[in-house]
């Protein structure tokens, strides 16, 4: 069977599809041929299939590097539903569980191992990696590897180091958002053996981008939801606004949920499920919502606040219309939003002294002694931490993120980790313990009856189920488990719904915390440049919105969408795109060089219909591109 027949067979067997989407097959055949491959596919373009299919078509294990625990868990669950053996290693697991998974990858029939970039650096992983039969390394959200990217994560830089241990294994890198500079940087940082990029156009013929300067945003939101029927996402900047806008919509008889990282994982899952299942029409969310969520029939995406950068906006707006039907993306803004965005940028880069103070407070909060703590993981309650040390929440959160970029800590999103128990004593010692501790004997006996495998590894338990069996309260059971843990009979890990923070190196004196040019000062300049690009996009009034976005990502030959707010205004001139651009291309450079009288401007169009030139110039004046000075001369604004 040739490679093409083999991958089509895999696609049919596991996904039930008879053919690939555009470019998927070329990407898969490239990876299957052992070539390092970079795939740029738009949001919803089916990136996961491009590494999962070649991995299933080859013998051995595929290591998938992914930045988000929720994404990893979601993909592992989807693979297991297809009877594909997959695991994920993340901060919600203890060392014993990680060891079991890694050993399974050596001796078992595991096809996919999802791992965060931080885990690639651990001794436990590096010692076992050469013993694994690795067939492919997949790097998801590959823009995170580039310091020019909008979501740079330094641990991604270490992926190339593991290639030295398994030099013959090809890499496939995937992203939905990358500028030309980021594309080149990804290949350099992953030590590609040759440039090899597959790029699908980011042009979306069924998605209309609109920008409107608006003071009455709530009124406009109701109008948009009335005009565009179907499922919607409304993006806002902070958690407080998610609830405020959702409550506002409900008061106006529009079904809505709010979603942010502050909700417990179980509640987030329920709200997400209600929205996907069309029980709720609108999801009002921060940017914590959307990654990895596959809902094809989103008809409307509204941004009530200015995103930090075009990459983030493009990714979020791109969640509309994945089914190929017409969808609309609206960005509402006013002058106060510009001021707010600039303040947020400043808050994203607290002063180095403040960040050092946060690092010191973290060490004290978790009672980590200087010189110890490497790879220790802790549940992290940001509100409690800020209250205890009188720290402002926004600056503190951004300080932790910068410490993460400098490689001191790693902060994961909130995930649910169930309660776990492992017996620390053998069966003889347990018997002796029961004889010596008659008051706890029946409790220990019940644990052994209810859960098998306690002597060989960590077992998930349910304190409520144990309480029902004992005809008592759950809190009594938790107290008993903690007592057994203190006495050394068991190790008890209570359930948690908190984010988790991991110290990536031993604690040092906070005065020795270093802020590199690359990770702090250069990142701040890049963030400022990206915000300027966002502001330019907002104020654009002559070029199609889709063209402006695609230009940013290096697609300079795209065509007008003919439907966005700019295209609709330009169509009022009655000119074709070609004729309008002919006027624009003559007028713009001339008026940029020096102001000139109206008659002299019109003299430039001797061979063109004067009426058409007049119409185009009048439109540019009405839309603030051309203005008139005190002497009556026209100039380019």
Model confidence pLDDT, tens digit, residues 432-481: 998 999 899 999 999 999 998 888 888 889 998 999 999 989 999 999 99
C-beta of residue 522 within 8 angstroms of C-beta of residue 147: yes
Please check whether residue 141 is in contact with residue 515, taking contact to mean a CB–CB distance below 8 angstroms. Answer: no
Give me the pLDDT at residue 628, please.
85
Judge whether residue 187 has pLDDT over 70. Answer: yes
Q: Count how many Cα atoms sit within 13 Å of the Cα of residue 540 in the half-sphere of its side chain.
A: 25
Q: Looking at residue 58, what is its pLDDT?
A: 93
Name the band, by pLDDT with cuts 50, 70 and 90, for residue 568: confident
- pLDDT, position 289: 82
Residue 632 has pLDDT above 90, yes or no: no
pLDDT band at residue 85 under the 50/70/90 scheme? very high
> How far is the C-alpha of 415 from the C-alpha of 68, rounded, in Å?
10
> Quick one: pLDDT band at residue 228, thresholds 50, 70, 90?
very high
Q: In this predicted structure, what is the pLDDT of residue 44?
A: 67
Contact (CB, 8 A) for 308 and 341: yes
Question: What share of the chain in percent tops pLDDT 90?
Answer: 51
Nearest to 366 by CA among 512, 500, 514: 500
Over 80: is that where the pLDDT of 572 sits? no
* Res 237 pLDDT > 80: yes
Do 244 and 357 form a contact (C-beta atoms < 8 A)? Answer: no
Residue 29 pLDDT more than 80? Answer: yes
Q: Report the candidate in 247, 297, 253 with the shortest Cα–Cα distance to residue 276.
A: 297
Inter-CA distances, 24 with 11, 27, 297, 354, Å: 11, 5, 22, 47
Mean pLDDT to the nearest integer, 231-242: 94
- Per-residue pLDDT band for 219 (boundaries 50, 70, 90) equals very high
| pLDDT number for residue 506 | 94
Q: Provide the Cα torsion 203, 204, 208, 214; round to 10°.
A: -60
Rounded mean pLDDT, 260-277: 87
Residue 499 has pLDDT above 70, yes or no: yes
Please tell me the predicted confidence (pLDDT) of residue 548.
Answer: 93
CA distance 334 to 539: 11
Report which of 504, 260, 497 is spatially closest to residue 380, judged by C-alpha positions. 497
Residue 379, pLDDT > 90, answer no
pLDDT of 365: 96
Residues 6+ apart with CB under 8 A from 256: 234, 245, 246, 249, 250, 280, 281, 282, 283, 284
pLDDT at 204 over 90: no
Question: What integer pLDDT is reported at residue 21 of this predicted model?
Answer: 85
Helix (H) or strand (E) holding 274: helix 265-276
Tell me which residue has tokens 């039907």. 325
Strands 197-199 and 37-40: what pairing? parallel
Spatial CB neighbours of 389, under 8 Å, sequence gap ≥ 6:
361, 364, 365
**Helices and strands in the chain, H and E counts:** 26, 22
How many angstroms separate the CA atoms of 51 and 108, rounded? 21
Place of tokens 């959160």: 397
Which of 13, 10, 39, 11 has its CA nearest to residue 170?
39
Q: What is the rounded CA–CA span in Å between residue 1 and residue 154?
A: 42
Q: What's residue 353's pLDDT? A: 93
Q: Please give the helix or strand (H or E) that residue 611 lies within, else none.
A: helix 610-622
- Give me the phi and psi of 358, to 5 degrees please: -65, -40
Percent of the chain clearing pLDDT 70 (strictly above)? 97
Q: Indicate if the pLDDT at residue 570 is higher than 90.
A: no
- Residue 542 CA: distances (Å) to CA of 4, 202, 529: 46, 21, 22
Q: Which phi and psi (to 5°) does residue 272 adopt?
A: -60, -45
Is the pLDDT score of 300 beyond 80? yes
Q: How confident is the model at residue 414 (pLDDT cuts 50, 70, 90)?
A: low
Alpha helices in 352-426 (DSSP H): 352-365, 382-389, 393-405
The pLDDT score that the predictor gives to residue 569 is 80
Are 368 and 503 in contact, with CB atoms under 8 Å apart? yes
Stated pTM of the model? 0.75
Q: Whole-angstrom Cα distance, residue 358 to residue 399?
A: 7
The H or E element spanning position 211 is strand 207-213
Mean pLDDT of the chain: 89
Is residue 281 within 8 A of residue 254, CB to CB? The reply is yes
| Least confidently predicted of 94-98, 385-389, 480-484 | 94-98
| Residues 6 or more apart in contact with residue 519 via CB below 8 angstroms | 147, 152, 154, 402, 405, 406
Find the range with the poorest average confidence among 252-256, 300-304, 559-563.
559-563
């Amino acid at each position: 069977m040739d490679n093409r027949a083999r991958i089509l067979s895999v696609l049919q067997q596991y996904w039930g599809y008879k053919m690939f989407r555009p470019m998927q097959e070329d990407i898969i055949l490239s990876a299957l041929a052992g070539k390092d491959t970079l795939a740029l596919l738009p949001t919803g373009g089916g990136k996961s299939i491009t590494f999962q299919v070649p991995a299933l078509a080859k013998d051995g294990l595929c290591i998938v590097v992914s930045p988000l625990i929720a994404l990893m868990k979601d993909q592992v669950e989807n693979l297991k539903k297809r009877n594909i053996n997959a695991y994920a290693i993340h901060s919600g697991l203890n060392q014993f569980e990680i060891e079991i998974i890694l050993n399974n990858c050596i001796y078992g029939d595991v096809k996919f191992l999802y791992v965060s970039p931080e885990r690639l650096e651990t001794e436990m992983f590096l010692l076992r990696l050469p013993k694994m039969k690795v067939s492919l390394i997949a790097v998801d959200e590959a823009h995170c590897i580039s310091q020019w990217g909008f979501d740079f994560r330094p641990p991604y830089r270490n992926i190339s180091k593991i290639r030295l241990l398994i030099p013959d294994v090809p890499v496939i890198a995937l992203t939905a958002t990358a500028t030309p500079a980021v594309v080149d940087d990804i290949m350099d940082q992953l030590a590609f053996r040759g440039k090899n990029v597959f790029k699908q156009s980011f042009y979306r013929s069924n998605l209309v981008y609109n920008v409107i300067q608006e003071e009455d945003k709530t009124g406009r939101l109701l109008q948009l939801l009335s005009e565009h029927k179907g499922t919607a996402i409304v993006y806002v900047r902070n958690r407080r606004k998610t609830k405020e806008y959702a409550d506002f919509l409900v008061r106006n008889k529009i079904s809505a949920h709010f979603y942010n990282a502050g909700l417990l994982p179980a509640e987030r899952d329920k709200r997400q499920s209600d929205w996907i299942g069309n029980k709720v029409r609108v999801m009002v969310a921060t940017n914590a919502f959307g990654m990895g969520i596959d809902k094809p029939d989103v008809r409307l995406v509204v941004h009530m606040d200015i995103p930090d950068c075009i990459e983030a906006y493009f990714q979020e707006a791109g969640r509309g219309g994945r089914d190929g039907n017409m969808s609309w993306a609206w960005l509402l803004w006013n002058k106060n939003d510009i001021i707010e965005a600039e303040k947020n940028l400043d808050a994203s880069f607290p002063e180095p002294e403040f960040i050092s103070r946060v690092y010191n407070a973290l060490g004290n909060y978790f009672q980590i002694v200087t010189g110890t703590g490497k790879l220790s993981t802790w549940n992290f309650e940001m509100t409690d931490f800020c209250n205890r040390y009188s720290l402002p929440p926004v600056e503190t959160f951004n300080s932790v993120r910068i410490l993460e970029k400098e490689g001191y800590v790693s902060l994961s999103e909130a995930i649910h980790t169930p309660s776990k128990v492992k017996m620390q004593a053998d069966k003889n010692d347990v018997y002796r313990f029961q004889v010596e501790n008659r008051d706890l004997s029946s409790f220990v006996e019940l644990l052994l009856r209810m859960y098998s495998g306690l002597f060989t590894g960590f077992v998930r338990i349910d304190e409520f189920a144990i309480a029902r069996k004992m005809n008592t309260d759950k809190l009594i059971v938790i107290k008993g488990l903690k007592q057994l843990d203190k006495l050394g009979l068991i190790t008890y890990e209570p359930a948690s719904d908190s984010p988790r923070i991991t110290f990536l190196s031993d604690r040092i004196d906070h005065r020795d915390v270093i802020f590199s040019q690359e990770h702090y000062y250069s990142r701040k300049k890049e963030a400022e440049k990206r915000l300027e690009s966002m502001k330019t996009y907002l104020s654009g009034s002559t070029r199609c919105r889709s063209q402006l976005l695609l230009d940013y990502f290096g697609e300079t030959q795209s065509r007008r969408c003919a439907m966005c707010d700019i295209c609709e205004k330009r169509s009022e001139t009655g000119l074709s795109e070609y004729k309008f651009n002919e006027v624009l291309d003559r007028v713009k450079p001339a008026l940029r060089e020096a102001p000139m009288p109206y008659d002299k401007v019109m003299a430039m169009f001797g061979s063109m219909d004067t009426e058409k030139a007049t119409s185009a110039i009048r439109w540019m004046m009405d839309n603030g591109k051309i203005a008139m000075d005190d002497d009556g001369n026209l100039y380019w604004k």
